[in-house]
Structure 1
Amino acid sequence: MGCGRIADHGFLADGRSAALVDRAGSVTWWCPARFDAPSVFARLLDDDAGHWSIRPEGRFSTERAYLTDTLVLRTVFTTATGSVAVTDALALGPGARGHEVGLHSPRVLARVVRGLSGEVPLRMHYRPRLEYGRMVPQLAQQDDALVVIAASTRLDLRTTIPLVCELGEAFGSFTVRAGETQRFTLGYAPAYDAGPPAVLDAEQAIDNAAEGWRSWIDLHDYRGRYREQVRRSALVVQGMTYRPSGAVVAAPTMSLPEKLGGERNYDYRYAWVRDFSFTLEALWRVACADELSLHVGWLVRSMGMNEGIVPIMYGVEGERDLTEHHLDHLAGFAGSRPVMVGNDAWRQRQNDVHGEPLAAAWLMRQFLDPMPPEIAQLLRAITERAARDWHLPDAGMWEERDAERHYVSSKVQCWTALDRAVRFGSHLGSEADVARWAAARDEVRRAVLTRGWSDRLSAFSGAFDSDEPDASVLLIPLVGFLPADDPRMRSTIRVIEERLSHNGLLRRWEGDPAGFLICSFWLVSCLVLAGERDRAEQLFERLAGRVNDLGLFAEQIDPDSGEALGNFPQAFSHIGLINAAGDLTDLDAGRHILSPAPQPLIPADQDNSPGT
């Protein structure tokens, strides 16, 4: 049958993992143990890799929406004989509210079918395939559950309809009339050293999940511009948070292609340090200050103190070895191969990794006074690395695998690390340390302004001594390296729009197969900083309209067809929306977008860094 389009999917989450459900009522992706664990449903990547569908027999039309302020999905199927609603949720801990949402997941996928009008014949098809489709499990009836125990996985399916079992799958045909309800739950537990999966009533689980998500968003009452889009994006980012550690995964999926039929099909179920400062800024925007310590704690525990290359990404519990391998038995989404598990970007040198933690710490500086020793030690070590390694070539923030280069955005983020360390002053080092960091910062600045500028391009280029444009240099004003209204940045913004923009979407570089949403939102912020309010608003609203019908962004969008591409949903894209909306709000309020913290840790007269 296939899995349709990437944008056809809805997103469910429980603080440990996520499930994707398509418009035809099929769960096409679920890795119940945690985001980066092996799947039990992976039809997203191959028709034979497992799914769980509940859908009408025959022809139908579909309308769907999340229940207000939740990640609970309601899909209405309309047929010639009537209509039914299928409501889906990953269960939350019973009674979990506010900041407790997602901390204790029962790991149960709940589904409820309710008749709305007439009568509708439906068919359920349950086809678990473990280990990314490698294993066809046996199904056995035990008391009131259809049980799978295979490899390290146990699944218990409970339904209110009769089932017919065949090898490795089960079917059920049933009719729902107006006012009638059928309930389904699928619970997961490890096969060993654990009890059976939790037993929950499907309707109660869905109601509890809805109340849980609403209680969380009510604590984060963003009152700025584009409030509904920001609240939806905040829920999505929270849904991609592994609550036990505080890690935010880039996406809950793997190997969805940047280009249909292409080879850039990466596993994004990990947490990138690069995303860290942007994530914290987004949480700040939606008033999530109480949760910042959770995310900072994950970073401190994960990064530790390294002598070699600083890892740029980690598993959700801080794992470092994310060695990549291919699943050759899977066809890939729309035939896009290879299908990859793991991501060898963990081996790369990416010097921008030094800037993000320091930028995040400076953003939340009012919460770091006094500076906890373990955070001060980490920030100091990162600063020393930036001072030592900024001149080295690296793979860049787009993680190129062919050769290392002197990427301008990497140098700028080393400057950011050194600049914020100087601003922290005695909180991180001695007077001599601060002077040394300031000297290194100024050296980086001179190098970027000379070797990063291309007279031929009339813009900052992607790498030193290059004439190729790259959208990553839009970070220059966002981190305060140069003002956006500096003539060099105005020219750079103009060149990037002329060379990399198509149908309102920015590509990362010339030849990039699709528009990259975070870059497009960076452009919004640059326009805000440059004082071009009307253009910033127009671009933001065009971008915000690129979501699917559930308000979800992929990583990229084909600027010609409008098709969503890349892993889905993508945290970076939603973070970009939140931060750009916040920048537009700050413009209205007369606030400077680089200084969202109301009370600086260091009084202005003690800040010995030069103005930018």
Structure 2
Amino acid sequence: MEYSPIERHGMIGDLQTAALVADDGSIDWFCTPRFDSPSLFAFLVDRSAGGYCRLRPERDDYVVRQLYLPGSAILITRFMSPEGVGELIDFMPVTGREPTDRHRIVRIMRQVRGTGRYIFECVPGFDYARADHEVVEHEAGWEFRSPAGRLTLNPAGHDKIRDVRQVGPGVRGIIEANQGDSGALVLETGSADPPRLFSVSEVWQLYEQTRDFWRGWVGRSRYRGRWREQVERSAITLKLMTYAPTGALIAAPTAGLPELVGGERNWDYRFTWIRDASFSVHALLGLGYREEAQQYLGWLRDRLAGETPPRIMYRVDGGVDLVEESLGHFEGYLGSTPVRIGNDANGQLQLDIFGEAMDSVYRAARSGLHPAYEGWSGLSAMVDWLSDHWDQPDDGIWEARSGRQDNTYGRVMCWVAFDRAIRMSLTLGLPADTHRWVRARNAIYEQVMTKGWDAQRETFTQRYGSPVLDAALLYLPLVGFVAPSDPRWRSTMRAIDQHLVSDSLVYRYDPVASPDGLAGAEGTFSMCTFWYVDALARCGRLDEARLTFEKMLTYSNHVGLYSEEIGPTGEQLGNFPQAFSHLALINAAVRLDQAITA
């Protein structure tokens, strides 16, 4: 079996973990019981041992189409052949806010026309395929038992299921169906119960409950703009990547997918970055999801109460054990090694996170979500710490492994941290040493305008004393550091147009001109392209902004999802789907709608 391209997958989830389903009917990635737990299926990074659960037609002459049930996270894969049309319906019933080890993936095979014969195979790989397991047959189903966990395979509509048997470390069987028939498999983890027979009506009831949950949640959105379908799908994707017990938003549900096929830029993104989660507040509030924004603010408050300064990322439960290691037994997606789990960037200093956090709290306060006493105490302590530490090199937003630099974006976001903290203190009457904060804010402004500005090239630069451009600079007018009409910003935009933009797609920076400590290049960065749309709109270049946005929409995959980067031929690269990309899409759509309507 060959790897399905990254972009040929859809995502399902239950708000504590998620799975990726390829359009050939294979579950190629699934970690349990949480997003950041070891994998049970990891075919995406190792086709021989990673593990998978596949359900597909027995014959090869079929055409496949995959889509989401509108307004939901229910994925439908349609298999069309001369003998009939079958629909594979995949979903995970939503869990509550209490952490649980028990998770279900429901796979319904429904024959909508003619007849069909479908093969199913389930071959788990417990603990990143490092733990052995035994296969146990029960009267009602199958059990995979390992020291690292347990999986049961529970049938429904068992009269349609034929010839189920153990094949090596897995189970294989056949589903036969005539028009109107349904059969299903329920995969369950974390349960001590033996496998059991599900009735067809029971699995359809789970389907209806899951459908109603998602449609009810989507119905709370107040976005009524021009790109409602794309914004809605991005919002659902972000919700799917939120760990309900804590409100933590992961960067992506996968690990080890390459930014360059065959290269070493293969990171683990199944954690919560303060930066990503802070950006989410802007997007969530823009769509009217105050409860979700408030839940993240509570997560941030808890992190600030734990240590000052906070780390740049955490596990979904707030843990800090993110030691990076390589899974040497995995061959990697299309040979891209090493496959990394954990993330050593956790030990980096990234000064920009303070501005991103304070900006999110400030936006929330303007929407009526004022910080409580404990929350403000933690925030003011963080800003006080920053008063003594902002003027030092840091590792930067892109987590380069080439040493610390005086990064312009990091300094600007320190300015944002002081500016928003000052505004909140004065507006809400909150206690603070605002005179000290004002001095720091003013000093940063003068420093960036002198050291972060290249007078010869007439552009802001990635870092002090360097001519290199950086797409993170696109955020300067978005946070109000410079006005879109400022001559310095207009000339910076011209430089970005010339050096970082390729047919509307935007590179983060030039890794050749600005070595980041890693070999190889990378694709265009989707979040930066959406930032570019926002910056164009603020500069009054509305026709360019709209065309760039519409072009970018064509680079989503067939079900509206984006990874981190876009490759030379339009392929998706990096971990998938990527929260950054979908957050930036929402914000760009909202901003562009406002600019066009004004």
Short-chain TM bin: over 0.9
Shift of 1:505: 0.8
2:518 aligned with 1:517: no
Residue of structure 1 aligned with 2:595, choices 584, 587, 590: 587
Residue of structure 1 aligned with 2:554, choices 545, 552, 571: 545
Q: Which moved more, 1:360-369 or 1:251-260?
A: 360-369
Shift of 1:87: 0.5
What is the match of residue 181 of structure 2? 180
Query: Do the aligned residues in 2 keep the contact of 1:155 with 1:197 (CA within 8 Å)?
Result: no
Residue of structure 1 aligned with 2:585, choices 577, 589, 604: 577
Query: Do the aligned residues in 1 keep the contact of 2:32 with 2:101 (CA within 8 Å)?
Result: no
How far apart, CA to CA, are the structure 2 residues paired with 1:468 and 1:354? Answer: 24
2:87 aligned with 1:85: yes
What is the match of residue 315 of structure 2? 315
Look up the SS of the partner of 1:274 in the other structure.
helix
The residue type equivalent to 2:575 in the other structure is: N
The residue type equivalent to 1:411 in the other structure is: R
CA 1:293 to 1:464, structure 2 compared with 1: closer, same or farther past 3 Å? same
The residue type equivalent to 2:543 in the other structure is: D
Query: Do the aligned residues in 2 keep the contact of 1:12 with 1:71 (CA within 8 Å)?
Result: yes
2:156 aligned with 1:147: no
What is the match of residue 533 of structure 1? 542
Q: Which moved more, 1:248-257 or 1:196-205?
A: 196-205
Shift of 1:379: 1.2
What is the match of residue 250 of structure 1? 251
How far apart, CA to CA, are the structure 2 residues paired with 1:371 and 1:38? Answer: 36
Look up the SS of the partner of 1:135 in the other structure.
coil
CA 1:510 to 1:116, structure 2 compared with 1: closer, same or farther past 3 Å? same
What is the match of residue 260 of structure 2? 259
What is the match of residue 554 of structure 1? 563
Unpaired runs of 5+ residues, structure 1, are 94-99, 591-612
Shift of 1:387: 1.6
Shift of 1:226: 1.0
2:70 aligned with 1:68: yes
CA 1:144 to 1:220, structure 2 compared with 1: closer, same or farther past 3 Å? same
Runs of 4+ that moved beyond 3 A: 100-106, 194-201, 366-371, 426-431
TM-score, structure 1 length as denominator? Answer: 0.91
How far apart, CA to CA, are the structure 1 residues paired with 2:39 and 2:369? Answer: 43
The residue type equivalent to 2:125 in the other structure is: R
Q: Which moved more, 1:159-168 or 1:258-267?
A: 159-168
Q: Aligned residues: percent identity?
A: 35
The residue type equivalent to 1:349 in the other structure is: L
The residue type equivalent to 1:134 in the other structure is: R
How far apart, CA to CA, are the structure 2 residues paired with 1:394 and 1:585? Answer: 36
What is the match of residue 610 of structure 1? none
TM-score, structure 2 length as denominator? Answer: 0.93
Query: Do the aligned residues in 2 keep the contact of 1:188 with 1:197 (CA within 8 Å)?
Result: no
Query: Do the aligned residues in 1 keep the contact of 2:458 with 2:491 (CA within 8 Å)?
Result: yes
What is the match of residue 517 of structure 2? none
What is the match of residue 605 of structure 1? none
2:281 aligned with 1:280: yes
How far apart, CA to CA, are the structure 1 residues paired with 2:98 and 2:15? Answer: 4
Q: Deviations over 1:420-450 (max 9, x none)?
A: 111112557657x101100110000000000
What is the match of residue 298 of structure 2? 297
Q: Which moved more, 1:242-251 or 1:453-462?
A: 453-462
The residue type equivalent to 1:549 in the other structure is: H
How far apart, CA to CA, are the structure 2 residues paired with 1:517 and 1:131? Answer: 31
Q: Which moved more, 1:294-303 or 1:321-330?
A: 294-303
How far apart, CA to CA, are the structure 1 residues paired with 2:543 and 2:556? Answer: 21
**Aligned alpha-carbon RMSD (Å):** 1.9
The residue type equivalent to 1:131 in the other structure is: D
Query: Do the aligned residues in 2 keep the contact of 1:31 with 1:38 (CA within 8 Å)?
Result: yes
Q: How many residues align?
A: 578
Look up the SS of the partner of 2:283 in the other structure.
helix
The residue type equivalent to 1:585 in the other structure is: D
Q: Which moved more, 1:152-161 or 1:564-573?
A: 152-161
What is the match of residue 514 of structure 2? none
Shift of 1:105: 8.9
The residue type equivalent to 2:65 in the other structure is: E
Question: For residues 391-540 of structure 1, what are the structure 2 equivalents within 5 Å?
Answer: 391-426=391-426, 427=428, 430=431, 433-511=433-511, 512-540=521-549
How far apart, CA to CA, are the structure 2 residues paired with 1:404 and 1:172? Answer: 55
Query: Do the aligned residues in 1 keep the contact of 2:262 with 2:337 (CA within 8 Å)?
Result: yes
Shift of 1:102: 9.5
2:134 aligned with 1:138: yes
Query: Do the aligned residues in 1 keep the contact of 2:294 with 2:369 (CA within 8 Å)?
Result: no
Query: Do the aligned residues in 1 keep the contact of 2:248 with 2:277 (CA within 8 Å)?
Result: no
Q: Deviations over 1:396-422 (max 9, x none)?
A: 000011110001000000000001111
How far apart, CA to CA, are the structure 2 residues paired with 1:369 and 1:348? Answer: 31
Query: Do the aligned residues in 2 keep the contact of 1:356 with 1:413 (CA within 8 Å)?
Result: yes
CA 1:335 to 1:370, structure 2 compared with 1: closer, same or farther past 3 Å? closer
What is the match of residue 120 of structure 1? 116
How far apart, CA to CA, are the structure 2 residues paired with 1:393 and 1:428? Answer: 33
What is the match of residue 171 of structure 2? 170
The residue type equivalent to 2:565 in the other structure is: Q
How far apart, CA to CA, are the structure 2 residues paired with 1:535 and 1:61? Answer: 37
How far apart, CA to CA, are the structure 1 residues paired with 2:529 and 2:124? Answer: 39
Query: Do the aligned residues in 1 keep the contact of 2:140 with 2:195 (CA within 8 Å)?
Result: no
Question: For residues 317-336 of structure 1, what are the structure 2 equivalents within 5 Å?
Answer: 317-336=317-336
Query: Do the aligned residues in 1 keep the contact of 2:243 with 2:316 (CA within 8 Å)?
Result: yes
How far apart, CA to CA, are the structure 2 residues paired with 1:55 and 1:371? Answer: 51
CA 1:40 to 1:305, structure 2 compared with 1: closer, same or farther past 3 Å? closer
Question: For residues 197-236 of structure 1, what are the structure 2 equivalents within 5 Å?
Answer: 201-236=202-237
How far apart, CA to CA, are the structure 1 residues paired with 2:366 and 2:535? Answer: 26
